[in-house]
Amino acid sequence: MNYYRVNKSTSSNPNGDNEVHKDTCYHYDRLSNYESLGQHSNCSSAVSLANRKRYKADGCKNCIPECNKG
């Protein structure tokens, strides 16, 4: 299980998506404007929760490439 956060800011993302990061990610501790998604056993669970919270969520290509749509 890992903790996940969704970035509320989309300004650094050219696709305009809200990136979801895992707690092992370099970016995780550097997010200044985020919502915690809690613990998940896989990234697709975390991304779908973010989508249910009305984010336009996509996985970070660094920490969860299997959930990154590009």
Q: Which residues bind Zn ion (CB under 5 A)?
A: 21, 25, 27, 60, 62-63
Is the Cβ of residue 25 or residue 46 nearer to Zn ion in the bound state?
25
- Output the smallest distance, CB 52 to Zn ion, in A: 20
Is the Cβ of residue 57 or residue 63 nearer to Zn ion in the bound state?
63
Chain position whose Cβ is nearest to Zn ion: 60
Q: 19, 58 in Cβ contact below 8 A?
A: yes
Residue 27 burial class via C-beta count within 10 angstroms: exposed 0-12, middle 13-18, buried 19 and up = middle
3-class DSSP state for residue 47? helix
